[in-house]
Chains A and B, each alone.
Chain A
């Protein structure tokens, strides 16, 4: 294969610059003692202090984290069971139908998910706020978990289960001692992905959040609409670090999932 040309290097460098410049621009100005994103007056940590002194913001941050953790835990549980069920569906047509239904929420635009959930919650009488946000996050995370777990299940040899059954394992034992340990890397990858999607989501949450409840992205949206405040910059620097940690975590589990898969346990 041909090596990378000079032109290619320059082009790639330019693309990387454009991709990262806005992010570092935001972080850079989070240390600005002036109040704008256009002139750098001096180094300060006051905007970070402002983030941590703002009780309202801290509560919103807690809300966001709680919703993310709870929703990804619950969606992982439901998603894993769902994926196991799909794999054991013997009717091919039925399995394809369930899979298509599973993927609808992944491909649907967020506005549609948000709007339709808003109708649903109003209709069945769920009060908009923590409950509606949590339920929505669980709902859009489940298909992601299924997608992450399914390949692990499919590559698992059915003789493992047959062997366990022959040796007298109950269905419960098969699930907890054979299937779950085997697909564990997929489960963790699904959990991490659900977590990041929940932390990241704005559009769906924006629709189903009531007046009293807010998550970080909804709050940032209303702050950004009001104009530039360097508190957002400080917040975004913090979020950048957390996101980076999650991405690394996700790739770590995904990588392990791959090596376990090809290593043939």
Chain B
């Protein structure tokens, strides 16, 4: 097909790239050098490296790490056993459906569940521990986040485990490896790409959450996302907000590079808030 001239029908698409992909990144970069009055300054960057923002970044990473860790811990066995079910595609679909329900609604449900008179506390009093303040704690924040992210961790791990050739496992057993040995030396290394995609799909969004922190953690937990939202919509300091955003973008690239892989399968269908 001859296609020498730049086709006219591409104009809206290229316009979109210019306006909504390139321009926003440039603008974030530009605003990160502006102070409250719109003057050029490096103060935001200097501020960022002050103790407050560094601590914020560290705690944000720590929470994201915990969330990712628990997600893998729960999702891996789930994905593994899912591959062994009879109608696995159907079960997988059932795992995915909750991830399509609006994030706010799921978070809102936990306000009720973890509330002072909610079922979680009823359960605790029945088994004799007594009522606890569950809402507005680190525990509730991490629990709800893991709950939200589990499907996004299960899906890629399931895909990579499902692709695994069962003959390899049989071979390993025939050669006398124990179940644990087979898992460690055969299954895990071969399915590591799924875990990597899962980490990508969980860690970056976990750094940038702000809905769950606001509703469940009661402003006690501040992630990079919460800080950006705060700077943009509450304090109206767009410069500082942009600076934090620049670092978030930077972290995102680093994480993507670290978890990047040659074959780009699986991870294309998902997107997490």
Q: Which residues of A contact B (CB under 8 A)?
A: 1-5, 8-9, 11-12, 15-16, 18-20, 22-23, 25-26, 29, 36-39, 77-79, 81-82, 84-85, 88, 90, 98, 101-102, 104-120, 123, 139, 142, 144, 147, 158, 161-162, 165, 196-197, 199-203, 206-207, 217, 220-221, 224-225, 228, 232, 236, 239-240, 243-244, 246-247, 251
Surface stretch bound by A, among B8-16, B39-47, B50-58, B188-196:
B8-16
**CB nearest neighbor in A for B94:** A16
Instruction: Flag if A11 contacts B78 (CB, 8 Å).
Output: yes
In the docked arrangement, what's the CA distance between A114 and B233, Å? 11
Query: Which of A1, A15, A119 is close to B238, meaning CB atoms less than 8 Å apart?
Result: A119
Task: Report A166 CB to chain B, min CB distance, Å.
Answer: 11
Instruction: Flag if B28 contacts A12 (CB, 8 Å).
Output: no
In the docked arrangement, what's the CA distance between A112 and B229, Å? 9
Instruction: Flag if A117 contacts B228 (CB, 8 Å).
Output: no
Instruction: Flag if B1 contacts A82 (CB, 8 Å).
Output: no
In the docked arrangement, what's the CA distance between A251 and B90, Å? 11
Given contacts A26-B105, A224-B104, 11 further A-B contacts (CB under 8 A): A29-B112, A36-B117, A38-B117, A39-B117, A104-B21, A107-B256, A115-B228, A220-B108, A224-B108, A243-B100, A247-B97
Chain B residues with CB under 8 Å of A9's CB are: 81
Chain B residues with CB under 8 Å of A139's CB are: 16, 19-20
Asked if B107 CB lies within 8 Å of chain A CBs, one says: yes
Query: Which of A39, A142, A144, A224 is close to B16, meaning CB atoms less than 8 Å apart?
Result: A142
Query: 6 smallest A-B Cβ distances: which pairs?
Result: A82-B13, A37-B112, A116-B24, A109-B208, A8-B81, A22-B109
Main secondary structure of the interface of B (DSSP, over half): helix
Chain B: how many interface residues by the 8 Å CB criterion?
81
Instruction: Flag if B249 contacts A1 (CB, 8 Å).
Output: no
Asked if B235 CB lies within 8 Å of chain A CBs, one says: no
Assuming the A-B contacts A19-B98, A109-B204, A202-B103, are A11 and B10 also in contact, with contact meaning beta carbons closer than 8 angstroms in the complex? no
Q: Which residues of B contact A (CB under 8 A)?
A: 1, 3, 7, 9-10, 12-13, 16-17, 19-25, 27-28, 31, 74, 77-78, 80-82, 84-85, 91, 93-98, 100-113, 115, 117-119, 122, 147, 150-151, 166, 204-205, 207-208, 210-211, 214-215, 225, 228-229, 232-233, 238, 241-242, 245, 248-249, 252, 256, 268, 271, 273
Query: Which of B10, B19, B96, B256 is close to A82, meaning CB atoms less than 8 Å apart?
Result: B10
**CB nearest neighbor in B for A12:** B81
Task: Report B176 CB to chain A, min CB distance, Å.
Answer: 17
Chain A residues with CB under 8 Å of B96's CB are: 247
Instruction: Flag if A228 contacts B81 (CB, 8 Å).
Output: no
Instruction: Flag if A202 contacts B16 (CB, 8 Å).
Output: no
